[in-house]
A and B are shown apart, each in its own frame.
Chain A
Amino acid sequence: MRPPPSIEGRDRRRALALAAPALLWTLVFFALPFGVMAVLSLWQRTDQGLQAAWTLANYAQFLNSPAYLQAALNSLEITVVVTVLSVALAYPLAWIIAVELPPRFRRLALALAVVPFWTSYVVRSYAWSLVLAKRGVLNGWLGDLGLPLLDLANSRAATVIGFTHFFTMLLTLTIYASLVQLPPNLRRAAADLGAGPLQIFRFVVWPLALPGVMVGAFLTFALCIGDYVTPQILGGGNDLALPQLVMLQIGRRADLPMAAALSIILMAAVTLAYLCMARWMKAPAP
């Protein structure tokens, strides 16, 4: 005789049924394509079309081609510079909003800091190309001031400026979130015990807010290294970044396997950065 169905079991089945659609969607349209890409990266493109070659040739080609390695290096350099610059610019702003500003202005200041966030991503890069163009706004101002003109259009500097603009906004939000959570009493206690402003920052605020800053920095790293739009519009076609190289494979060369291999390499870089961060977060404070 079958035992009567328990309430426990019924609840469990009901919960599974509720989660099933989202899980199925993620499986079919996210996990599976990822597997397809991993498999595809081991194939080869031939004149007859795709061939299931099961070889690491695409990865070998990446390692043996100076142009490909240069693109990876470019991406890495741009991403590191952008991450450091954005943290350096956003931290003081987040501090001012979270600590120095009267609380009733905080929400407004924060909202203002991210307004351009909501312009179209493509258009924002284009807007920077207007500013940085040879006869653009920036050079107009420099000319008025009698300063030497800058030739920033289609350069790595332009890419870095465009990225830094976007991620400064993003990091202002995340750093603000971790700074505003610190109880002001901690700073008062440190001051009471005789710490100067710099010491308070160095030994109280900085270590306590660091996890939030690191999460923001990782987000910046991951989004920056995987972005195609900004380097394509602002950097031009000479000093390629890795995502540009990926798009070249599927566009001009119709080489899906190579594009897949490069994407896997891109993912590996992001995963590595994530593992570094996770390890660092777990490590006991010195």
Chain B
Amino acid sequence: MMRFLICAGYMALLYGFIFLPVGVLALYSFQDGRFPIPPFQGFSLRWHIEVLGDSDLMAALAHSLMVAFASSAVAVTLGFLAARAVAGGRLPGARAIRAALTAPLSVSYLVIGLGLLASFNLMGQGLSLSTVAVGHIVINTPLCFAICAAAIGPAQMAAERAARDLGASELRVMWLITAPMILPALLAAFLLSVTFSWDEFIIAFLLSRFDVTLPVEIWSLLRSGLNPKTNAVGSLVFMVSAVAVLGVELTMMRRR
């Protein structure tokens, strides 16, 4: 009994700590006053409506979605192809290639972004949403590679060999055998990349100029201090991420 009370108490405490900022954020996004601080002055949707009518924020949201989907599509493709190569077991130096492909995971985003910024500067390449997408592909390819490599096992290899024996070309094997067999992993990798790209700030901040993504736009909104509008945007972002995460969960669950 004592043990149960201690456990329940600790869980309540920690969940309270974990949910505190999100709860406060959401609650005060409905604040009918100019500042998102106590006392709570009554319920209003005006900040949410204002966000939906803010052309800068909506443009940034569209940019974020574009960058997230485009960069994730490329990252999944690169990761899937490389995972197939490594899984085949025929690749010379597979260990080294695996290490090289996952290396970006161990480097701080700030450093990756700064390196790309310096390189683009030296090349005279202007900054745009495309350069942001390039950065996001760099950080998401290792992830997609790892997820796909974990999903390709002996069963997939055997099916591929059978298809090749029956005369299927390499492209057909990939498109008709491997990809459908590991579809849940591909989807999970894609959606996970989307959420990472969608939420990524520092690379997007360093590598964008005029068109910016949502986290960068929110960053400039923060300069205006505490503002219920920022709360409302935050709740909105949360909902989009939650939907994507739910998607990952559902595709992963179906695999079982």
Contact = CB atoms under 8 A, between A and B. Distances in A.
Interface of A: 8, 11-12, 14-19, 21-23, 25-26, 29-34, 36-37, 40, 89, 92-93, 96, 100, 109, 111-113, 115-116, 118-124, 126-131, 133, 135-137, 140, 165, 168-169, 222-223, 225-229, 233, 243, 246-247, 250, 256, 259-260, 263, 266-267, 270, 274
Most buried by B among A21, A168, A247: A21
A51 to B, nearest CB: 13
Contact of A93 (B11, B78, B85, B111): B11
B219 A122 contact: yes
Contact of B101 (A26, A40, A109, A263): A26
B21 A274 contact: no
B69 interface: no
Contacts of B36: 130
A21 to B, nearest CB: 5
Given A25-B78, A93-B10, A96-B11, A15 B111 contact: no
B137 A29 contact: yes
A216 B56 CA distance: 38
Contact of B10 (A96, A115, A118): A96
Contacts of B81: 18-19, 21-22
Nearest to A242: B110
B90 A8 contact: yes
A274 to B, nearest CB: 7
Contacts of B86: 15, 19
Given A123-B237, A127-B24, A137-B38, A23 B107 contact: no
A133 B79 CA distance: 44
B117 interface: yes
Nearest to A267: B111
11 contacts: A16-B85, A25-B141, A33-B112, A36-B122, A93-B14, A116-B19, A123-B233, A123-B237, A127-B21, A130-B37, A243-B110
A161 to B, nearest CB: 9
Contacts of B215: 120-122
A16 B94 CA distance: 10
B25 interface: yes
Contacts of A140: 37-39
B103 interface: yes
Interface residues of B, number: 80
Given A22-B79, A136-B37, A112 B7 contact: no
A188 to B, nearest CB: 17
B145 to A, nearest CB: 6
Contacts of A137: 24, 37-38
B21 A266 contact: no
A100 B90 contact: no
B55 interface: no
A198 to B, nearest CB: 13
B108 A266 contact: yes
B118 A33 contact: yes
Contacts of A227: 108, 110
A18 B234 CA distance: 40
A19 B91 contact: yes
A267 to B, nearest CB: 6
A140 B20 CA distance: 14
A96 B231 CA distance: 33
B114 interface: yes
B60 to A, nearest CB: 12
A251 to B, nearest CB: 10
B168 interface: no
Nearest to B89: A15
Nearest to B90: A11
B245 A222 contact: no
A124 B237 CA distance: 11
A16 B85 CA distance: 7
Given A126-B234, A131-B21, 11 more contacts: A14-B88, A18-B81, A33-B112, A120-B215, A123-B25, A124-B22, A126-B222, A127-B24, A169-B18, A250-B114, A263-B110
A267 B202 contact: no
A286 B242 CA distance: 45
Nearest to A9: B90
A135 B39 CA distance: 9
A116 B242 CA distance: 9
B44 interface: no
